[in-house]
Every structure is written in C-alpha cells, then in structure tokens.
Amino acid sequence: MQDGTPWPGNNTRDHPGMIQVFLGQSGGLDTDGNELPRLVYVSREKRPGFQHHKKAGAMNSLVRVSAVLTNGPFLLNLDCDHYINNSKALREAMCFMMDPNLGKHVCYVQFPQRFDGIDKNDRYANRNTVFFDINLRGLDGIQGPVYVGTGCVFNRTALVLNQVKRALTRRKSGKHADPTVPVFSLEDIEEGVEGAGFDDEKSLLMSQMSLEKRFGQSAVFVASTLMENGGVPPSATPETLLKEAIHVISCGYEDKTDWGSEIGWIYGSVTEDILTGFKMHARGWRSIYCMPKRAAFKGSAPINLSDRLNQVLRWALGSVEILLSRHCPIWYGYSGRLKWLERLAYINTTIYPITAIPLLFYCTLPAICLLTNKFIIPQISNIASIWFISLFLSIFATGILEMRWSGVGIDEWWRNEQFWVIGGVSAHLFAVFQGLLKVLAGIDTNFTVTSKSSDEDGDFTELYMFKWTTLLIPPTTLLIVNLVGVVAGISHAVNSGLSVMGSTLRQAFLRLLGDHPSLPFPKRFDGSPEPDTHHCCRVVYSSCFHLFTVCG
C-alpha cells in the first residue's frame, strides 16, 4: 500500500473488510467535461469459521454497501467476465423500470447472455440459443423470465424491502397493514424515541427489534433503505458513511437477520440466481425480458470440454439442491401470487438433472442386451406402435419449431442435442448423487469457478487441449460398453447362423445409430474438424433409430 504496509487482503480466507473509493461523490470528469460515475472497490470481511455463502453473500454485501454510500434505486448485476456491449442497455431497462404503470410491479429486467470466443461450430452448446431466444421470451408472456445470474438490472425495493415497502404504502393509503411491520420516518430512526409515534416504549422497542431482525444493526442502512426517493441521510458525513459501509460487510452482520432467507440474494443453493428470482416471483413481482438488437452485455464462455462439464455440474447441482429444499417450486409459495405456468417453468428448471437416470438406462440397456443375447423389450402391439410414433412426431415437430423460432440452423440445434446427451450421463448424473449426499448425509461439495477463455491465449488454444476430470468417466465407459456390445452382438450372430443373424444385426445396427449422437464426445480428444454435411446425416440417422426401435 502507499504507506508501506502490506495489503491486508492477501489471504483470501482471512482478511478484514476493505473499501476503496476511486471516484466519489465529487469524482473526476471525462474529456468532454461530464461527471464520471462513482467507482468503489469493496472486499467483504472473511474470517475462518464463518459461512460466507459464496456469490450470494458477496452480492448481499454489495447491496448493503451501495445502500449506505449512494442508495440508488436500481442495481446492475454483471459477472466479472462480462462487459457492457451496448451503451444504451441501461436506458432500455429504465424504460420498463420507470414506466408509471408497469414499473411498480417489475423486480428485474433480464438481458440474454451473449458470448465472445466461441468456435464457429459451438461444440459445447455455449450459445444455448433455444433457451435464451425461445424459452425466456416465452416466459416473458407469463410472469417474466428466470434470473440467470448476470446481465440483469434489479429494482432495489424488490430485493431489500419486499413486504415492508408494500406495508408502508398500504398504511399511508389507510388500508389494513401488518402491525408487525414497523413504519419509521427518517427522524424516528436518527433520533430514537423522540417523535416515534408509538404508544409506549415497549412497542417502540419491539419495532426496533423487528427492524434489526430484518435488516441488521445499522441505523444508517435502515434509514437509507426506508427513504422513499432514494439517496442517503442528508446529515451523514462521508466519513460516517464509509465507517458504516465497513460495518455492513463484517462477517457477523447477517447473523439473526433476514438476509439470505427473505432479503437480497437467497442462500441455500449454488445457483442462487434461480432461487432468488423464484422468491421474487412467488411474492407477486414480475420480471421483463429485454432483447435489444445490439447485445447489451457480452462475456466469456468455457471452450474446453472439462471446464464446460464442470459448469453444467454446478448448475445441475444447484437445481437438485432447490428440488430437495423447502423452496422447491413443487410445494413452495402456494399462498403467494406465482402463476401456474410460471411455477411449471420453475419445476422444469429444478427437476431436469433427474433425467440423467432414464437417459443412463437408455444408453446402457441395449448394450447389455447385445452382450447377454437376451432382448428385454417385447414385441409391441399396433396400437402401442401408433402411440410411440405419435410421440416421436411430436418431438420432431418441437425440434422444427425450436429451429424456426430461434433462427438457428440444423447444425447448432443438433449440437445442443448432442451435448445434452453428453452432459446428461456425466454432469447431471454427478449432480443428482452429490445433491443427495449433501441433503441426506450432510456432505457438502465445493465447486470451483469455471475457467473461461482469455484474449491472451491463441485462437481456441484450449479447445483442443485435453483436461482429465472424473466427469469424463461415465460417458467414456458408456461408449466403450456400447462398442463392445455391438462387436459381441455381431460375433454372436455370425456364430449362430442365418436364423438369428438378421435380428441380431438389426439390433447392433440400431445400437450404432443410438450411439451416433455421442460421436462428438470421442472427437473432443483429438479436436479434428468435421464437415458440415455430417449434421444432416446425424438427424436422419437419429430419426431412423427412433423409428426402427419403435416399429421393430
């Protein structure tokens, strides 16, 4: 540091809270004479023995610091690997937030994620176009898109006040209000008992305790939060505000408060974004999906298979944690104002990792049949065949609609299907077992921040780099078992004569077609390029596989 003392944040797990104001209230000016926005560095206190709640805890600390220093009514949330790509993005969000009719109901405005540094084939489905350009746009017509963790502008009232703000509004309008929710003016909070407007000291004490239970022991933060028009208390000096900002990022500040349970980012899952958005929607707020022509924000994406699978594992583990918690959308929030279709979308968001189990059987049983020469699937009737063919046609039609609505080509759509199989038998499967261990046995699993591409690296240097991870064991094993099953089936057919050769060869051929969607997996090891004409062949092969399996 400038005075020669060592920087206190060298130990990332044990250091005091630190705040450095680079540009304050009377900050510098740019080359055109315009005032520059404030720039404040914040590092919350970390001590051994305290639960820091990872990203959710960091975001809550930033919410409190910003309330003490500036108390702006809106907050922009960006991951560290994202940047602003459209200078008018915030203005786009303000059109919704400040709308006189819609704005008072909006909790956040979500922008789609767009990425730099993805290879032209998008081997690991990083763009996720179907999700961002179809699913979230569809949810915008119900109660709004889910919060995806970055590229989002929040209404501070929805994050911090929730029922308190609405109780204040109801009491001012003379309507019934919850008597347990305190209503303080700024003078009440600064001066204490004088002019509080309560019948006796006991009721005042209970109201003060209620405020401390909700927001924590910071009079300045409470005063700033309850100010209707934003801003900070006019009597507070910069030195007082800075001291209070250090206090609200201390390790023990959130103890015995509603932070992380009812206020701010919600704790209990490594995917705090889904959980936080769900709680807001359950309270009756709605969100907005904003898709300007020029991408609002851009970020980096993992271009290595191992890093991508670890990212998918973290997302899936968070979904399993929510599914097995009290916040599960299957049973939580029925007393609130969450719309049924929105609830269905959240249920789908939390249960999708479980599909790894039937997918594992789907990829394993045919190979076992070939190895044992015992086919467990009986001949089905004509009526059952019609039902299965109808199901296949509906899935096929869904794929066509996804390509049409999202504007993606058949190659990108098929890449998503391929990676779903690879991620399903690896990351999703691990997430299910890790989630069960954490909930039932209390064995916590730590996740690491996903490695992203860097501009300093060569063009897609890491794309062809092989990094071993235990997540590669299940898909590798399945591929080997299926190939051995095909060889065993053909060998058995040759040795058994012409009477069974036709049936066995057909099963082996169908097994190869079934393995075809996972063919990109071994190609990840050598990184060899692939002609674009292969994509059409894959779709045709996969269609034939499903039809032959049903009709055969």
Amino acid identity, position 435: G
Q: How far, in Å, are 178, 326, 446, 450 from residue 270 at the CA level?
A: 33, 15, 9, 13
- CA separation for the pair 313, 27 (Å, rounded): 43
- SS3 for 298? strand
How do the residues of the chain divide into helix, strand and coil, expressed in percent and rounded to 5?
55, 10, 40
Q: Where are the alpha helices (DSSP H) in 123-184?
A: 129-130, 136-139, 156, 163-172
The tokens of 314 are what? 């973290």
Are 504 and 489 spatial neighbours (Cβ–Cβ below 8 Å)? yes
The tokens of 225 are what? 């939060």
| Helix or strand holding residue 41 (H, E) | strand 39-43
**CB under 8 Å to 469, separation ≥6 — which residues?**
306, 309, 310
Residues in the chain: 552
Are 520 and 123 spatial neighbours (Cβ–Cβ below 8 Å)? yes
- CA separation for the pair 56, 10 (Å, rounded): 22
DSSP for residue 153: E
Cα–Cα nearest to 521, from 423, 437, 451: 423
The tokens of 140 are what? 């915008």
**CB under 8 Å to 127, separation ≥6 — which residues?**
115, 118, 412
DSSP one-letter string for 537-548: HHHHHHHHHHHH
Are 97 and 72 spatial neighbours (Cβ–Cβ below 8 Å)? no
Q: Per the annotation, where are the binding residues for Mn(2+)?
A: 55, 79
Paired with 297 in beta bridges are 84
Q: Per the annotation, where are the binding residues for UDP-alpha-D-glucose?
A: 54
CA within 13 Å, CB half, 509: 14
Q: Per the annotation, where are the binding residues?
A: 54-55, 79
DSSP for residue 332: S
DSSP one-letter string for 51-115: ---HHHHHHHHHHHHHHHHT--SEEEE--TTEEE--TTHHHHHHHHHT-TTTGGGEEEEE---EE
Are 123 and 463 spatial neighbours (Cβ–Cβ below 8 Å)? yes
